[in-house]
Amino acid sequence: MAHGNPCLGDVMSPSGGGGTMQASHVVHVLVLGILLTACASPDAPVTSAPSPDSVGAELAAVSGAPAFGEPLANLTADELARFGAGLKEFLTVEGVGEGLGPVFNEASCATCHNGPVGGTTGRKETRFGRIVDGAFDPMSEFGGSLIQDQGIGLVSSGGDFTFVGEAAPSTATVTARRITTQLFGLGLVDAVPDEYLLGLARREAATSPTTAGTPHMVREVRTGLTRVGRFGWKAQVPTLFQFSGDAYLNEMGITNPEFPDENCPQGDCTALAHNPLTTLNDDGAGVVAFNDFMTMLAPPPRGPRSLQVIRGSGVFARSGCANCHTPVLVTGASPIAALSHKVFQPFSDFLLHDMGALGDGIAQGAATGRQMRTAPLWGLRTRSLLLHDGRATTIVAAIKLHGGQAATSRTRFMRLGLFDRFALLSFLRSL
Ligand code: HEC
Ligand code: HEC
């Protein structure tokens, strides 16, 4: 099915507006109608997913921003103010007095998500565990699986005590590094209804079973509901709101309403007797601010589109890349008009795929060690370190490391003639 897949590898702005962003908000219902029939409606019986028939006339391509790190176009004054306040919080470096630590990775979100703000500095973190009777054990008694590699040092609460960063214990048999991802456009991803991603998974299973993705069903803390995970390298988190609280605790050591319990340093909970700030560190305002900033952060602006790029988008589809790196997704209703019923191009299905040896070996929720979320390819042209651990420094190297369900696609790439390969790479460098 990868051959002759009607789904476009790329969607041309109907007005052809290469790098210029003003043109892209123009809705060309007819073009979008064709496009959505071909690609965006994964499965007809999906109930509450936006259906081209019912809302087609209102669907619009998301309006781009002129540069990375900017807010979405067409926000209201109130939304822009919330974005600005969120950005400020995102940049804020916290101290021990605000609850940083006792163990943490960095003191602000932007220490890792920057270059420009919301992007990635390439900062990596480490997870560890071991395999017991064939199953992954996160070794939580040693503070696993996520390491907090810094400590707040000497404190005098409850007697002198020195908090140091964690390290993988010698008994760990699995260690994996994960690189910081870019956050551009994730408000759109957040606004895709679960039913839509479930429908997409069903369509993949029906049309391209060998590469089909698996939705990562995870618990939403706020509602207790089982939702489709979509954030993180393993699609382990269902919403930006939840990731905000999760990261505040697990990256910075700031407890908050949904994540009220400090991490026990290296698994030693008795050390928390020396925690200098035992009350809830953030009353929830910080989490709301991060969520606002990320929700309204614009998607990566698209690079220039040459004839090579257009040709390459066809090679992308023919090579089976688009089976996982889904070119087009559609949001559902959102209280933020700029996110509501929008067509956007993340080049990911946000589903899990068995990547063979490329998997990071860490099981998380229902995701096995071999399964990874399809990495979105938007913004690729700005990235210098690729794959979950940043081991690839070129696009070709990243493709060559695809295994498991992506092995056939990788082989197709390796067999491309020079002209097609050049076109495909031009396309990827335009994202
Ligand atoms: C020490 C570096 C570091 C800090 C500090 C940090 N992050 Fe991250 N962030 C990462 C890494 C690494 C990942 C990928 C994690 C994974 O999937 O295991 C990530 C992933 C994310 C994602 C998921 C993005 C996606 O591609 O799906 C969100 C959302 C996020 N971070 C938000 C935040 C917020 C909000 C803060 C501040 C409260 C924060 N991060 C602080 C390193 C960091
Ligand atoms: C079976 C699904 C699947 C297919 C088919 C597939 N990919 Fe991927 N791709 C993934 C997953 C999953 C990742 C993330 C893997 C990781 O980092 O562990 C990824 C990562 C990438 C990356 C690195 C992105 C980043 O942010 O680091 C690039 C580039 C890429 N793919 C390009 C391609 C191209 C080009 C093709 C077609 C030749 C292709 N992929 C086919 C699933 C797929």
pLDDT beyond 80 at 28: no
- DSSP conformational letter for 127: E
My answer on whether 68 and 84 are in the same domain is no
Q: Would 391 be classed as within a structural domain? A: yes
Give pLDDT, residue 60. 82
Mean pLDDT within 29-57: 37
Task: Note the ligand closest to the C-alpha atom of 402.
Answer: 2
My answer on whether 61 and 28 are in the same domain is yes
Q: Would 4 be classed as within a structural domain? A: no
pLDDT beyond 80 at 420: yes
Give pLDDT, residue 215. 98
Number of domains in the chain: 2
Give pLDDT, residue 205. 98
How far apart CA 420 and CA 9 sit, in angstroms, is: 14
Give pLDDT, residue 35. 41
How far apart CA 418 and CA 352 sit, in angstroms, is: 31
My answer on whether 225 and 332 are in the same domain is no
Rounded to 5°, the CA angle 354-360-365 comes to 75
User: Please, what is the end-to-end C-alpha distance for the chain in angstroms?
Assistant: 24
My answer on whether 130 and 65 are in the same domain is no
The pLDDT confidence band at residue 22, using thresholds 50, 70 and 90, is: very low
Lowest mean pLDDT among 53-62, 108-117, 220-229: 53-62
Coil, strand or helix at 163: strand
pLDDT beyond 50 at 400: yes
**Ligand 2 neighbours by CB, cut-off 6 Å:** 211, 319-321, 323-325, 353, 355, 358, 372, 374-375, 377, 380, 386-388, 395, 398-399, 402, 405-406, 409, 413, 428
Q: Which of 245, 264, 295 is where one domain is finished?
A: 295
Query: What's the whole-number average pLDDT of the chain?
Result: 89
My answer on whether 122 and 245 are in the same domain is yes
pLDDT beyond 80 at 279: yes
How far apart CA 319 and CA 102 sit, in angstroms, is: 48
Percent of the chain scoring above 70 in pLDDT: 86
My answer on whether 271 and 135 are in the same domain is yes
Give pLDDT, residue 102. 98
Joined tokens for residue 332 = 């559902």
Residues 300, 184 contacting (CB under 8 angstroms): yes
Lowest mean pLDDT among 62-66, 77-81, 173-177: 62-66
Q: Which residue has the higher pLDDT, 52 or 410?
A: 410
Give pLDDT, residue 418. 97
pLDDT beyond 80 at 380: yes
pLDDT beyond 90 at 17: no
My answer on whether 240 and 309 are in the same domain is no
pLDDT in tens, 55-69: 444 678 887 667 999
Give pLDDT, residue 63. 77
List the one residue out of 160, 159, 130, 131 whose CA is nearest residue 142.
Answer: 130
Q: Which of 295, 310, 339 is where one domain is finished?
A: 295
Give pLDDT, residue 30. 34
The pLDDT confidence band at residue 385, using thresholds 50, 70 and 90, is: very high
Q: Which domain holds residue 316?
A: 22-74+302-428
Helices (H), 168-300: 186-190, 194-207, 240-252, 285-295
My answer on whether 118 and 267 are in the same domain is yes
| CATH code of 37's domain | 1.10.760
Q: Would 17 be classed as within a structural domain? A: no
371: part of which helix (H) or strand (E)?
strand 371-373
Percent of the chain scoring above 90 in pLDDT: 84
My answer on whether 271 and 307 are in the same domain is no
How far apart CA 234 and CA 366 sit, in angstroms, is: 9
pLDDT beyond 80 at 19: no
Q: Would 193 be classed as within a structural domain? A: no
Q: Which of 295, 324, 341 is where one domain is finished?
A: 295
Lowest mean pLDDT among 29-38, 78-87, 411-420: 29-38
Mean pLDDT within 310-338: 98
Best of 89, 180, 250, 293 to mutate for ligand 1, by most ligand atoms within 8 A of CB?
180
- Look at ligand 2, atom 18, and give the residue with the nearest C-alpha: 388
- Look at ligand 1, atom 12, and give the residue with the nearest C-alpha: 180
Q: Would 96 be classed as within a structural domain? A: yes
pLDDT in tens, 182-197: 999 999 999 999 999 9
Lowest mean pLDDT among 49-63, 287-301, 346-360: 49-63
Amino acid code (one letter) for 389: D
My answer on whether 269 and 164 are in the same domain is yes
My answer on whether 291 and 380 are in the same domain is no
CA–centroid distance, 403 to ligand 2, in Å, is: 9
My answer on whether 275 and 171 are in the same domain is yes
Give pLDDT, residue 58. 62
CA–centroid distance, 407 to ligand 1, in Å, is: 29
